[in-house]
Amino acid sequence: MSKRTNAQAPLSLGEGAGVRQLLTAVFLFSILFLSSCKQGNAPTDNPTSGHIKISVDETFYPFFDAEIAVFHSIYRFAVINAAYVSEGQAVKDLLADSTKLIVISRELNADEMKYFEEQKLFPKALKIATDAIALVTHPENKDTALTMQQLELLFTGKADNWNLLDAQNDPLEIRVIFDNTNSSTARFIKEKFNTELPAYCFAANNNAEVVKYVAEHKNALGVIGVNWISDSDDSTSIDFMDKVNVLRIISDSSDTRGKQPYQAYIAQGSYPLTRNIYMVSSEARSGLATGLTAFVASDPGQRIILKAGLVPATMPVRILGFGNY
């Protein structure tokens, strides 16, 4: 009996229909697969809807969390997942492309911009507010004001005891506490006084822990972002102000009393420990990161900043007190 090869074997009607069904299934699957791939590469967000992750300097949590809450209430189909991290980590997130938007207290430096330019990306930084660094002490600390010269001695390691700053102070070893070793407040102080921090400076995990430590240690000096204590309507801010004192900073010989970080003094530049806040975006299109940035820069977004005790980038300010001036 002769044998037919597979190539020579005729197909029955049933077999042909089965092959056609198989080919049709393969074709449809291919279309669906290509379609899903195309959708996967397409943007899934626009300025008012979608889902994105952002990284925010933890120092700015109080006011920026309020910005996101209001944005969500207006744009119900938008989801902003904010990670509140150190400034250093926020920049790393942007460089690693794990986020397209960060909120920090500086613009990107030359090396960071060069990295993005090599990726054919051109990040934009928008100033949204002016912030201040507040120095807080235990309520029983006799020092209520420090000069810039005293701060220089303190942060450069030349005065490690409170009575070296003022002979009338108790002889207590100074302990300076920051929110994080990689924080924007620590970087600001190092740049302001052109120094590395001395051994009696150490870090907690966040601004709330700084306030807690200072409230429990008479010899402590806390370095925090002012928006943690400047919103007179915020329960957390009120609670913190009940636990610590805010130091007055004397900038020069003409300033005999010194100033606390009130909005007006920050705006005038007469409070010496001020800095700007930026939203930095690497988004190359008009997506949800762009929409959020536009909202924060708008009148409603700037009013949230005003209420938080910071100086908005585009609005006038009023004086708000801390209650222990």
List C-alpha distances in Å: 83 to 39, 91, 98, 191, 325: 27, 12, 11, 26, 34
Q: Give the pLDDT confidence score for residue 322 in this predicted structure.
A: 52
**Would you mind telling me the total number of residues written for the chain in this entry?**
325
Q: Are 133 and 275 in contact (CB under 8 A)?
A: yes
Q: At 54, which helix (H) or strand (E)?
A: strand 50-57
Question: Residue 132's closest CA among 316, 313, 263, 26?
Answer: 263
Q: Give the pLDDT confidence score for residue 233 in this predicted structure.
A: 79
The answer to whether the pTM exceeds 0.85 is no
Residue reference for tokens 């300025």: 47
Question: Residue 227's closest CA among 325, 118, 304?
Answer: 304
Q: Give, to the nearest 10 degrees, the angle between helix 299-307 and helix 288-297.
A: 60
Q: Give the pLDDT confidence score for residue 43 in this predicted structure.
A: 67
Q: How far apart are CA 180 and CA 207, in angstroms?
A: 8
| pLDDT tens, residue by residue, 233-280 | 788 888 888 899 999 999 988 888 899 999 989 999 999 999 999 999
Q: Give the pLDDT confidence score for residue 39 in this predicted structure.
A: 43
CA 186-217-190 angle, to 5 degrees, is: 15
Q: Which residues are paired to 203 by β-bridges?
A: 178
Q: Give the pLDDT confidence score for residue 319 in this predicted structure.
A: 53
Q: Which residues of the chain have pLDDT under 70?
A: 1-43, 316-325
| pLDDT tens, residue by residue, 288-315 | 999 999 999 999 999 999 999 999 998 7
278: Cβ contacts below 8 Å, ≥ 6 apart? 103, 104, 105, 106, 107, 125, 126, 127, 128
Q: How far apart are CA 102 and CA 124, in angstroms?
A: 11
Q: Give the pLDDT confidence score for residue 41 in this predicted structure.
A: 53
DSSP three-state, residue 211: helix
71: its two tokens: 């944005």
Show the beta-strand stretches assigned E in 105-161.
124-137, 145-147
Q: Give the pLDDT confidence score for residue 234 in this predicted structure.
A: 80
Q: Give the pLDDT confidence score for residue 314 in this predicted structure.
A: 87
Q: Give the pLDDT confidence score for residue 20 in this predicted structure.
A: 47
Q: Are 316 and 302 in contact (CB under 8 A)?
A: no
Q: List domains and CATH numbers for the chain.
A: 50-130+276-312 (3.40.190.10), 132-268 (3.40.190.10)
Show the beta-strand stretches assigned E in 162-320.
175-178, 201-203, 220-225, 245-246, 248-250, 274-281, 311-312
Count CA atoms within 13 Å of residue 150 on its CB side.
Answer: 22
325: its two tokens: 């001036």
Q: Are 224 and 179 in contact (CB under 8 A)?
A: yes
Q: Give the pLDDT confidence score for residue 16 in this predicted structure.
A: 47
Percentage of the chain exceeding pLDDT 70: 83
Strands 245-246 and 50-57: unpaired
Q: Give the pLDDT confidence score for residue 13 in this predicted structure.
A: 38
Q: Give the pLDDT confidence score for residue 29 in this predicted structure.
A: 39
